[in-house]
Amino acid sequence: MPRLIPTLARSTLALLLAAGPVLAAPQGSAPQGATTQGAGPARATPGQGDLGPGSMGSERSAPSVGAESLKPGQPAPKPYLADALMPDTVAILPAPPASHSAAENADKVAFNATRAIKGSPRWDLATADVAEGASAILDNFACVLGTRLDQARVPALITLLERSRLDIARATRGPKVHYRRLRPFVGNEAPICVQRSQALADSFSYPSGHATQGWAYALIMASLVPEKATAILTRGRAYGESRVICGVHWLSDIEAGRTNGAAIVAALQGDAGFRADLDRARQDLAKALAAGGTAPDQTICAREQAAAKEPLL
């Protein structure tokens, strides 16, 4: 199985550049309804992947508001941060790799290498990691926590995650719309772990919304269960890397997603409402873990443990 490295030293980049042609389409290859601008990263024109004012986003552009966030008879959750307190993630994040740069070539090498993983347990985990949101995160961390948690048992935790998710989406939307970077599967027929669609092809890649959400949630969960912080953060890292395995994000999208997730959690920690909900969620979760629950599927746990130990490239 190919081995992926999360960061690339200069010597490694030199080897990658000498590795010969890669199969991924140039990042300047635009899909139908998309354009490229100058020598920078490819950018899609506004369309199905674009976000109008007030849009909550979707898989195409940012973490979406899942069905669990919109329960009949209950008001929709509100974000914690006022607009004035939202970090400027366009300013915080570096620009995506420039066209024909060593970093862009490293992204292409990572995409091509991971296509050979299709059909493996790591591919299966990446497919499972497509699910996102508050309820999905309980399943994602079940093996780490040692039990599967029912949403009904941790209402304060669900509230915390659902409200945080809205801020995460806002932090992700800005740079996605600003850079309009195309996804790696555009312009080729390489396998990906989700169904292809024009809407997905025309959407934005940088930074990864899943990686942003996964890392932000991992930071939050680690603060709630600090004795399991190492395992939680390791799972959060693998969750983001699943997007490279899946073939829907470049490696640099994932790295930017982690920075993005850390930025929004840092801002959230300054909000009194977030801190109050964090304390309530900590009590909620402690009671649920003390009471025990259904054991997670050990086959899934073994798959997650293997992914955690195996570097990407």
Active site residue 83: no
- Give the CA distances from residue 178 to residues 3, 51, 307, in Å, rounded to whole numbers and listed in that order: 32, 11, 32
Q: Is the dihedral of CA 195, 200, 201, 207 positive or negative?
A: negative
- Give the CA distances from residue 109 to residues 39, 115, 173, 193, 213, in Å, rounded to whole numbers and listed in that order: 20, 10, 27, 18, 25
What's the CA gap between 114 and 277, in Å, rounded?
Answer: 39
What's the CA gap between 255 and 291, in Å, rounded?
Answer: 37
Phi, psi of 34 (to 5 degrees): -130, 160
Which one is catalytic: 210, 235, 258, 303?
A: 210
Active site residue 165: no
Give the bridge partners for 181, in sequence order: 43
Residue that is written with structure tokens 């945080």 in the block: 164
Helix (H, G, I), strand (E, B) or coil at 218: helix
Which one is catalytic: 249, 258, 271, 284?
A: 249
Active site residue 249: yes
What is the chain's percent helix, strand, coil content, to nearest 5?
55, 0, 45
What's the CA gap between 209 and 290, in Å, rounded?
Answer: 33
224 CB burial (10 A radius; 0-12, 13-18, 19+) = buried
Active site residue 243: yes
What's the CA gap between 241 and 213, in Å, rounded?
Answer: 12
Residues with active-site annotation: 210, 243, 249, 253
